[in-house]
Chain A
Amino acid sequence: MEIKTINYSKIDEVVYCYEHKSGLKAFVIPKKGYSKKYATFATHYGSINNEFNVAGENTKVPDGIAHFLEHKLFEQKDGSVMDKFSKLGSSPNAYTSFSQTVYLFSCTDRFDENFDLLLDYVQNPYITEESVEKEKDIIGQEIRMYEDNANWKVFFNLLDAFYEKNPVKIDIAGSIESISKINKEVLYKCYNTFYHPSNMVILVVGDVDHKEVFSKVEKGIQITDKQPDIERIFPDESLGINKDYVEHKLSVAMPVFQMGFKDSGFKTKGTECLNREIALKILLEMIVGRSSNLYTKLYNEGLINNTFEFDYSIEENYAFSSFGGESKDPLKVKEFIVKEIKDLYSRGLSKDDFQRIKKAMRGRFIKQLNSVERVSHMFMSVYFKDVNVFDYFDVYDKISFEYLENLFKEHFVIDNLAMSVVKPIDS
């Protein structure tokens, strides 16, 4: 068995990697002294993959199917796999994001049995018509729960403002209407397409022996032949924004907003993608982070409070920055941000800010390594973009001020700014 070892001595981390003959890659990040062992089995398949081509055959599927499949995999011929995990005292979980479906468990004891169980159930679906119908009620309540959730709504409406057709704007769980069309056949179709080992990854974080984990993977992965490539089909999307403003009303006390810049014309894989992500996060800190003048102005004017946050996301077919939180006057926040960006075009970025924020972000990155969950989530969120999570740490040194200045001009274009607001119903 060939095992690759990558040492990250600056942060005292090691990653072990093994490739199974099916093409599946498995990773172990040892965490000495930790009680929790956190194992993840994930597929590069999420809510945006509702159209695809395999060996010349085109398939379109109902919205929300990746998430539905995630729910259904927990059902096995001899009952719910959740019960089996419970018996072992571990907590199984799963989540579906835009571009991946992740199955995981966290345990403190009996890792081997838990890990066998994870490998087994993800590879062996047992879906019946009856159980599909029952699941529609449960997912229906999940959809209803999100309908009342202002933060969720305001975020998806921002995506709707950015994109006209891109499936990222569709709710991950789909709608009550779209899931009504889901049946056993189409679930198996998606399963067989996207759950081939070569489209998947395994990660274990915790105090485990990596060799034992890999030998379990070697024996436990059933399919060994390669499969034809999957072509993921996305509708053509224009570069500009779809709408500059979307408003919705919900039962909230104060307006909730999200606004951001749509990013276009970027590489979404490997080092370039990583550089761009980190540089943009540095820029956002410089422009509107707690140590910026703009933050102070917004805070003192009473326009933002401690719910204010910002972020940058980049995935295979979309990228954008976002700022949001609660505000009594979201349009005024937008005015301030637009003005600051215009000022920055003439004033220029500060090199001191750049250096200071790099130092701070490096420290915050180290802090996240304390948690096995955080390490797993960070690893998974970049893995399918061909990025190794610990490379983050070195990128801070590689980003130049000139790169940052160019990126600023490329990304912060007022024409690409869109806004979403959820207002109180009686306003």
Chain B
Amino acid sequence: MNNEIFSDSHLEEIASFKGIKLFWIKTQKFKTNSINIFFHDNLTRDRASKNALLPAVLRRGTKEFPSIRDISLYLDELYGTAFDCGVTKKGENHIIQFYIEYISDKYASSDVDLTKNAFDFLMKIITDPVLENGKFKNEYVEQEIKKLSELISSRVNDKMHYALERCLEEMCSKEPFGIYDYGSLEDLKTIDRDNLFEHYIEFIETLPMYVFISGDLKLPQIQYIKDGLSKLKRGQEKEIIINEKESSVNNVKDIVERFDVSQGKLSLGFRTNIYAQQEDYYKLLVYNSVLGGGIHSKLFQNVREKEGLAYYAFSRLEKFKGLMVISSGIEISNKDRAIDVIKNQLDEIRKGNISDYEYEAAIKSIETGIKSLKDSQLQLVDFYLSQHIAKTNDKPDSIIEKIKQVSKKDIAEIASKIELDTVYFITNNEKGE
């Protein structure tokens, strides 16, 4: 294997200007190239719904491609180029993403520069929307408000994810993290095309931007993108400040939601009091892997394999906010027993009862996961973006090095910092619990 050509996790910072950071993940491994543009905001009640609605309205059309159909016709002609946008939260950061992915030049006819076309298109989506009297087209705004309301209401359709997200929201109901990625139905009601347009101008002029180009590009193509970005009208860059304060738990919250379901969904939310910038974070990564990070984990081995209580039982970290959530689908009548078994697993780790198998498999599993992300452009981009958001400076390989230094004793030590905050349960309407 030629390491020069296939060095695939290398990130190069190309430029930084006007609050825009431009990166290039140089790789020949993939058969496509991609461009990702991220806007970075604070997650706040008054902005969340607007931030969510904005990409939905922008993807409806540009002056040149004024409808979904016009956009699709154009992307079809660009060899089925994929385009999408959306929002996500990373801790109390709100991230708005615009993404385009197209085949490498070698698979396209030589008279077309797909990179140029794709980048121009993405910029038109962001900066050149269809306007009506100098504001967004009313029809588009109204339709997208309805669709976003549907999306928010339909969260309950997927009980597994719903139970997990709701647990964390209930846990952080008095903190910005408790805000749903897409905002709320009430906040959506306050939006019209006037205040959305105002928000839009401020959004594109002041929010910090991260641009990631990934793939086998030539220098003039990179230069073209850089030039295009430098033409953006930008004002004073907004400073994104996230308040990370430890909060100790006084009383464990007990939340029950009722639906007509046949399976109960149990989520336990924890405060780890450990954040990504701290050295303890790597210990926490291994802790989580031992507890519920795969088939080697205590939760899988005990809740599923030994007790037969569940088909799935896992734990997951929210690294930006220092949270952990355990999730499992169980027979409704088994709630108390499942909680006991889960709590026992946490106790075992606290006491240092971690087998060699659990410990070694936990580290191996993280290593495999991190090496694997190099095989996906989107995952690599997300990895590097997360490093910037969390203000950490890790590379895939440096994380692997650090987790290998974590000992069983380290895991047991940080276990005492992890506090149960909220027990959340979805049960059915008939039987009580």
Contacts and interface: CB of A to CB of B under 8 A. Distances in A.
Interface string A359-379: 111111011011110000000
A233 interface: no
Contacts of B147: 302, 305-306
Most chain B beta carbons < 10 A, residue from A109, A141, A147 = A141
B153 interface: yes
B1 A291 contact: no
Contacts of B81: 363
A291 B73 contact: yes
Contacts of A369: 31
A138 B102 contact: no
Contacts of B1: 32-33, 207
A106 interface: yes
Contacts of A87: 296, 357, 360-361, 364
B82 A35 contact: no
A367 B103 contact: yes
A88 B364 CA distance: 7
Interface in A225-273: 249-254, 256
Nearest to A35: B371
Given A33-B6, A306-B147, A364-B80, A145 B311 contact: yes
A254 B151 CA distance: 10
Interface in A183-211: 207
A124 B8 CA distance: 39
Interface stretch (B45-53, B254-262, B275-283): B254-262
A83 interface: yes
Given A109-B367, A142-B311, 19 more contacts: A35-B371, A35-B375, A36-B371, A83-B296, A89-B364, A138-B311, A148-B262, A207-B1, A252-B157, A253-B153, A253-B154, A293-B69, A299-B143, A362-B79, A363-B79, A363-B81, A367-B101, A367-B103, A369-B31
Contacts of B68: 290, 295-296, 299
A307 B158 CA distance: 13
Interface string B142-181: 0100110011011111111000000000000000000000
16 contacts: A86-B357, A87-B361, A137-B308, A138-B311, A145-B329, A251-B261, A254-B153, A254-B154, A289-B72, A291-B69, A291-B73, A300-B139, A356-B73, A366-B79, A370-B30, A371-B375
A274 interface: no
A236 B159 CA distance: 38
A90 B371 CA distance: 11
A76 to B, nearest CB: 13
Contacts of B8: 33
A148 B158 CA distance: 8
A145 B157 contact: no
B262 A302 contact: no
Main secondary structure of the interface of A (DSSP, over half): mixed
B125 to A, nearest CB: 15
A90 B153 CA distance: 38
A148 B311 contact: no
A15 to B, nearest CB: 16
B24 to A, nearest CB: 17
B76 A109 contact: no
Interface residues of B, number: 71
A296 B331 contact: no
Interface string A284-308: 0000011111011001101001110
Contact of A108 (B139, B150, B372): B372
Nearest to B306: A134
B263 interface: yes
B330 A141 contact: yes
Interface in B368-395: 368, 371-372, 374-377
B295 A82 contact: yes
Contact of B364 (A86, A141, A144, A372): A86
Interface string B285-301: 00000000011100000
Interface string B339-379: 00000000000000000010011001101100110111100
B79 A360 contact: yes
A84 to B, nearest CB: 10
Interface of B: 1, 5-6, 8, 28-32, 67-69, 72-73, 75-82, 101-103, 107, 139, 143, 146-147, 150-151, 153-160, 259-263, 294-296, 304-305, 308-312, 329-331, 357, 360-361, 364-365, 367-368, 371-372, 374-377
B272 to A, nearest CB: 24
Nearest to B373: A35
A83 B357 contact: yes
A366 B372 contact: no
Contact of A359 (B79, B159, B360, B374): B79
Contacts of B72: 289-291
Nearest to A93: B295
Nearest to A302: B146
Interface in A370-410: 370-372
7 closest A-B pairs by beta carbon, nearest first, are: A89-B364, A363-B79, A33-B6, A360-B80, A363-B80, A137-B308, A291-B72
Interface in A136-180: 137-139, 141-142, 144-145, 147-151
Nearest to A90: B368
Given A87-B364, A145-B311, A356 B156 contact: no
A357 B76 contact: yes
Given A252-B156, A305-B151, A370-B377, A359 B262 contact: no
Given A12-B31, A86-B361, A305-B151, A145 B263 contact: yes
Contacts of A12: 31
Contact of B157 (A80, A256, A289, A361): A256
A367 B143 contact: no
A250 B364 CA distance: 41
A11 B30 CA distance: 11
Nearest to B258: A251
Contacts of A142: 311
A425 B329 contact: no
A139 B263 CA distance: 13
A328 B150 CA distance: 9
Nearest to B67: A296
